[in-house]
Amino acid sequence: MTIKLPDVIAIYFAADKSDNAQAISECFTPDAIVIDEGNTYTGRDAIRQWMANASTQYSYSVEPFALSEADGRTVVTSHLVGNFPGSPVDLRYLFLLDGDRIAALEIVP
């Protein structure tokens, strides 16, 4: 199923697919926050490092398949398959957008 993602979210997933941590970090506002697996990453440098670590620790693919809105956030549900514990899994990516950048992202089951 193909869904139409907001531009910056589409760029985020394309950069993730190509393991480009720098491009991912540039999708965010300078003081953005990411919450993933109980950890919080604040600012582009921390977000870039988070993605760089994730892409070296695990091999995975992510395929967004549903899009909705909840509490002012854009919710993208994606199917992840890889060599990480619990694979495969569907995760919800809760994006808070600020103009053409991501101000916050929380990734939850």
Nearest to 80 by CA among 93, 63, 68: 63
State pLDDT tens for residues 1-57: 579 999 999 999 999 999 899 999 999 999 999 999 999 999 999 999 999 988 777
Q: Are 100 and 8 in contact (CB under 8 A)?
A: yes
State pLDDT tens for residues 59-80: 889 999 999 999 999 999 999 9
State pLDDT tens for residues 84-102: 888 999 999 999 999 999 9
**Res 54: pLDDT:** 81
Task: Report the C-alpha gap between 25 and 50 in whole angstroms.
Answer: 9
Domains and CATH numbers, the chain: 7-108 (3.10.450.50)
* Encoded tokens for 98: 């600020």
pTM for the predicted model, two decimal places: 0.93
